[in-house]
Amino acid sequence: GESVGLHLPTLSVQEGDNSIINCAYSNSASDYFIWYKQESGKGPQFIIDIRSNMDKRQGQRVTVLLNKTVKHLSLQIAATQPGDSAVYFCAEKAAGNKLTFGGGTRVLVKP
């Protein structure tokens, strides 16, 4: 498959443990924040989003936390599975419908 960035920060996690992926954003005017998962050879896949007027949102096995005070976004994955191995990107959407992506974090799940 394609390699998305050879020098990404990597999070190694044991199968079954929880994962936390962090992201700092820059634009305090962003109104949406989104997490994407990108597996090798595939396009980014939407995981979850959160509006700027919320601080927490839960999905299936995932939780996104937003701290606007320090411009920080995190994605928590519960009971991490081998299929969760991928590169995870945060993105912020400001006015004008432009998404600005973070650099990505590679998650490796160890059996």
Partner 1 sequence: DSGVTQTPKHLITATGQRVTLRCSPRSGDLSVYWYQQSLDQGLQFLIQYYNGEERAKGNILERFSAQQFPDLHSELNLSSLELGDSALYFCASSGEDTASRAFFGQGTRLTVV
Residue type, 52: S
Can you tell me which of 64, 73, 93, 107 binds partner 1, judged by CB under 8 A? Answer: 93
Give the span between the Cα atoms of 48 and 44, in whole angstroms.
12
Work out which of 11, 22, 32, 52 binds partner 1, going by CB under 8 A: 32
Our finding on whether 4 is near partner 1 (CB under 8 A) is: yes
On whether the CB atoms of residues 33 and 50 are closer than 8 A, the answer is: yes
- Interacting residue with partner 1 among 29, 43, 69, 70 (CB under 8 A): 43
Question: Using CA of residue 41, residue 106, residue 64, residue 101, what is the dihedral sign?
Answer: negative
Give me the residues that bind partner 1 (CB under 8 A), please. 2, 4-6, 32, 34, 36, 41-46, 49, 89, 91, 93, 96-104
